Structure 1
């Protein structure tokens, strides 16, 4: 028995399966196609070009750099989140008012979730990154409900 609670034989089998899947993925995937590696027909996976799949609608250009609706939505999201953060923390009190209380409840719930997943010590360590990504994504998703920013 290993320290992980399962036999070494089982770990070797799992590692072999993962290695085989990794090699098959390399041969049949984008790297195999880029290197012109001949693969059997059942391994061939069509690869989309990322710039075609995630292409935003260019609205205007600035110095040869196109500004898309996705970029504008991200900027608006950042301005909105920073504005709410500034408004909530402008006149902080021991007994919070409406906006400060709402922001505190949301951050406390998110902190409890992160601590529940990563533990008390690591949860507080990872919280700034996780909260930043979560808040940006959730605000951006809600912003997409408006007609101009939607898909």
Structure 2
């Protein structure tokens, strides 16, 4: 398994654990709340670590993670963060509607390609991981060569 795919698998596992922790009912609300908080922190820390690593890869312009259009993590050099978030939210909403109409199943990724740059949006649990790069960069290639 390539580096990036392994990272996505780990994030999906952490997202699932966080979701499960939210669904478990218990009579001890303090312990339940602490477990949820710890699972959330573990997930968010892993997201930020991945965003930092991806943002430093040669050929990647920026990386960020969003949930419902709100930023959870961003690489250091992300200009126009609000525009990036709005684009993510609008693109995801339109793609989800289209996927439902076409019977595609759960949305996994969206790629918006412009004349100069592109943004890839990958669905991971409750968030969208967004990677911006120049149009000519092969994201699969640069992401899978990292270790």
**Superposition TM-score, scaled by structure 2 size:** 0.28
Larger relative strand fraction:
2
Larger relative helix fraction:
1
